Structure 1
Amino acid sequence: MTGQMTVPGALTTDVYEVSMALAYLREGMTGEATFSLFVRKLPPRRGFLVAAGLESALAYLEGLRVGSAEAAAFAEALHRPVEDLEPLRGLEFTGEVRAVPEGRIVLAGEPLLEVTAPLPQAQLAETCLLNQLSHQTAVASKAARCVLAAAGRPVVDFSLRRTHGVEAGLRMARLGSLVGFAGTSNVAAATAYGMPAVGTMAHSFVEAHEDEEAAFRAFARAHPGPVTFLVDTYDTEAGVGTAARVLRDLGYGPGCAVRLDSGDLGALAVRARRILDGAGLPEVRIVASGGLDEHAVDRLVRSGAPIDVYAVGTRVGVSADAPYLDSAYKLVAYGGRPVMKLSAAKATAPGAKQVFRGPGAADVVGLRDEAPPPGTEPLLETVMTGGHRVAAPAPLAAARERFEADLARLPDEARRIDDPVPPEPAVSGALARLTEEVRDRIRARVLGGRVAGG
């Protein structure tokens, strides 16, 4: 396994995207369309989101092409002769993408990405773009909250064994690095992304030996550098005492650690620290793991537990409390005409947009071409033109810098782990006026026609 993630192809789509793209082509509806991808509302217990998934989304668009094999597969899916799918053959993405760079903090109702391309191309891309940005933004946002909760203590990724597939495990490690994780247990991810590989031992290693001391000494013989001993296989306090004796006997100290994986981690950490300090090993760290997420980490940090490193896994890797986002990819303009949806609770705003960020995430959602309000900066950048990226993929370090800068400027109430209050972006006057104009036009045409016909 190389650790490189596969790039989805044209078949990675829902069948109705194919049906619509084919109908557009048959009707000659190939004018320029703009679609906006955004999150309608934040999940409960979220004060912000971290934009993520853009790099894999752009890789998908660069490779999006319908060849003979794809046309044949579409024909089979639609139960149609392959000749019927001939209009789709040769379709590839030639459009423009404007997006919020990875690592930036975003809010509900703000476009993460806007695609402008011939209508069939932009339509066919919907499913995969939603998949890439929704999942990765959800996981990055959960991971970011763990970093916040740890209050400067290192957080590491132990999620691979329970993520929803190997690919999701790779993405989790990458996203953890993006928001400041100190390492990952995932060797493939560590290799692919230049992250420190971190880990300890399993309970099975201890159980395979006659006792804990034999296990710890065997592990230390195999690993002459700093070691971390798992101390809760039988009795945690006895395990810490044994670990301290072995470390002292072998002359190990700086860089070494004991790992607590079960029980009352706060109370056990206090007792473990006392044992280690009493053995003259104040430099030996305490690592905590076992079902942790930002809420558990926050409670431990606030309690003053002497834990040096937090290893998070399952609950973070699957974003357990918010495993999906209420995201949407909606047509906002076609053929130079702004369009919108009026459905109850799911109405959209028309026109290509921009997000203008002010101090403290005082954001304004406006039209793409309007002048920025004083003291604001635009968030969406042009990242693809003519179907190709405008620049090489940005390093993770750059995304991490963006995240850290945005997080530092976020209001305290949005950063809270419990009961956060997310900022609410304002709507520019120009966008509000356009929305009203388009709404009135639709009502006059559709509802007026219904009354006249009735």
Structure 2
Amino acid sequence: MRNLTLLTDLYQLTMLNGYYEKNIHEDIVVFDMFFRKNACNGGYTIICGIEQLVEYINDLHFSDDDLKYLKSLGLFSDKFLDFLKDFKFTGDIYAVEEGTIMFPKEPVITVKAPLYQAQLIETALLTIVNFQSLIATKASRVCYSAAGDPVFEFGLRRAQGPDAGTYGARAAVIGGCTGTANVLAGKMFDIPVIGTQAHSWVQKFDNELESFRAYADVYPDKCLLLVDTYDVLKSGVPNAIKVFDELKAKGHKPMGIRIDSGDLQYLSVEAKKLFEEAGYTDLSYTASNDLDEYTIASLKSSGAAINSWGVGTKLITSAESPSLGGVYKLAGSYDGDTLVPKIKVSEEPEKINNPGFKKVVRIYNEDNMAEADLIMLHDEKIDTSKPLTIFDPTYTWKHKTFHNYTIKELQKPLFKNGECKYVSKSVNEVKKYVNNQFNTLWDAYKRFSNPKEYKVDLSDNLWTLKSDLLDSKKRL
């Protein structure tokens, strides 16, 4: 495992040095990680990367080489560098379970720790969780558009480097993909790997039929042929039928074909006609070629015969929305045992954070459908035997009262006093958790365009605290 302690912005370290010099580095503070806008301009975001965050926190330490490099920068005193020799995370971290569906402004991760520790982890925390959450959400959208058809992640060669390709594959499977072409990801995360041949295989042989026969000879029970190297309908499909007939005569069952170019709707429909005339009624028709949720939805609505999808570039890069803008903001600082709430004021209302030490509660109706989330102060309680009224934090006259409802607190301890409390789950377990949550969301929140906005409200106490702080800042 790589030591990622220096995976940080320089200003984190200059601030740590400043906190140390001013003797405030041990002050206990509260930071929140949240995002202001859903991934992919959609109606929800799937949080991913929590396991890698835990691995990072568990391995936090400054090696001798790290300290030697920092000394060479000429920015830090020997006394401060000596202090870093014994660095170890000793605070608390609360986070939603990996795979949790979340919405803007909600605390995804809350860190309560000495200031120098909480500050150092900001950059790595954001880069780990932002990217994987983005790809998990993109994959969820792509799989939703496929309406139950298997979707395979094919994006490694177009990813923004090896880490993005590998951890992106993990996130894609968590988001709903059946498997990945990335062999390293398969090994690291125990997820299915998928692949057959490329056009170079077909081109290497003297003719297409010979290439198909050679592949069928090596993989008689996993024979899925790429039929668009020369001409799908005049060459690829007729040659595939010949090879499938030969396999069938030997007692093997052909898998199907892949089409990687051209008019996928027309070619798939015509190819299926030819195969069915030849007696093949249960083949896999896989399509690739720069697919995304919009293209897949269009192909399905136009009657394409495709029943399996290989999605690469636009998934692994989340092409039309290439970043999740998760942020990490100071929400409070302790004076002894008393928390002093902190707020960032901005002319842009969306950049004003919610102050204090908080938690998030999800409210479900009697049919176990998610109706709203409530951000509350950490020590607040809800009596579910009584009606619960929430209100829009901006349009405060808009209310909703729940009678028959249940609640779930979304954050759980990852670390307490520096001790890891996280219980690792397999990628498949996280994927199932995502699917179960997805079924509690109304379809209106899943739309690709103009999704309904999910209700995220503030408790009375938090709303009052925030309003009072904003009023006090106006008088400064």
Q: Same fold (TM over 0.5)?
A: yes
Map of 1:169 onto structure 2: 165
Moved more, 326-335 or 371-380: 371-380
Pairwise CA distance, 1:33: 0.8
Map of 2:397 onto structure 1: none
Pairwise CA distance, 1:27: 1.5
Map of 1:384 onto structure 2: 415
What do the CA deviations read for 1:143-201 (whole angstroms, capped 9, x no partner)? 11111111000001111111111111111221122122111111111222222221121
Pairwise CA distance, 1:78: 4.7
What do the CA deviations read for 1:73-94 (whole angstroms, capped 9, x no partner)? 2233354454553333322211
Match of 1:348 among 325, 331, 353: 353
Match of 2:439 among 408, 411, 426: 408
1:245–1:279 Cα contact (<8 Å) kept: no
Per the alignment, in what secondary structure is the counterpart of residue 48 of structure 2?
coil
Letter in 2 for 1:372: I
Moved more, 269-278 or 79-88: 79-88
Pairwise CA distance, 1:24: 1.0
1:38–1:329 Cα contact (<8 Å) kept: yes
What do the CA deviations read for 1:202-230 (whole angstroms, capped 9, x no partner)? 11111111111000001111222221110
Per the alignment, in what secondary structure is the counterpart of residue 55 of structure 1?
helix
1:22–1:88 Cα contact (<8 Å) kept: no
Cα 1:433/1:369, change in 2 over 3 Å: same
Letter in 2 for 1:202: A
Match of 2:18 among 20, 23, 42: 23
Per the alignment, in what secondary structure is the counterpart of residue 268 of structure 1?
helix
2:414–2:421 Cα contact (<8 Å) kept: yes
1:177–1:183 Cα contact (<8 Å) kept: yes
2:189–2:426 Cα contact (<8 Å) kept: no
2:346–2:352 Cα contact (<8 Å) kept: yes
Per the alignment, in what secondary structure is the counterpart of residue 51 of structure 2?
helix
Map of 1:332 onto structure 2: 331
Map of 1:249 onto structure 2: 246
Map of 2:218 onto structure 1: 222
Structure 2 residue 321 is the aligned partner of structure 1 residue 311: no
Segments of 5+ residues of structure 1 without an aligned counterpart are: 1-5, 448-454
Per the alignment, in what secondary structure is the counterpart of residue 357 of structure 1?
strand
Letter in 1 for 2:23: G
Letter in 2 for 1:356: V
Match of 1:212 among 197, 208, 218: 208
1:100–1:381 Cα contact (<8 Å) kept: yes
Q: Normalization by structure 1: what TM-score? A: 0.93
Letter in 2 for 1:261: D
Moved more, 135-144 or 170-179: 170-179
Pairwise CA distance, 1:427: 1.3
Give me the whole-angstrom Cα distance separating, in 2, the residues matched to 1:174 and 1:287. Answer: 21
Structure 2 residue 196 is the aligned partner of structure 1 residue 186: no
Letter in 1 for 2:15: M
Give me the whole-angstrom Cα distance separating, in 2, the residues matched to 1:48 and 1:333. Answer: 27
Per the alignment, in what secondary structure is the counterpart of residue 111 of structure 1?
coil
Q: Normalization by structure 2: what TM-score? A: 0.89
Match of 1:394 among 421, 425, 434: 425
Per the alignment, in what secondary structure is the counterpart of residue 290 of structure 1?
coil
Letter in 1 for 2:361: F
Give me the whole-angstrom Cα distance separating, in 1, the residues matched to 2:100 and 2:80. Answer: 44
Structure 2 residue 85 is the aligned partner of structure 1 residue 95: no
The root-mean-square deviation of aligned C-alpha atoms, in Å, is: 1.7
Give me the whole-angstrom Cα distance separating, in 2, the residues matched to 1:87 and 1:440. Answer: 40
Match of 2:48 among 48, 52, 64: 52
What do the CA deviations read for 1:350-398 (whole angstroms, capped 9, x no partner)? 1111111113241111212211374221111112112232133122233
Cα 1:422/1:227, change in 2 over 3 Å: farther
Per the alignment, in what secondary structure is the counterpart of residue 105 of structure 2?
coil
Give me the whole-angstrom Cα distance separating, in 2, the residues matched to 1:315 and 1:179. Answer: 15
Letter in 2 for 1:415: K
Identity %: 33
Pairwise CA distance, 1:422: 3.2
Cα 1:221/1:22, change in 2 over 3 Å: same
Map of 1:62 onto structure 2: 58
Map of 2:380 onto structure 1: 370
Map of 1:285 onto structure 2: 284
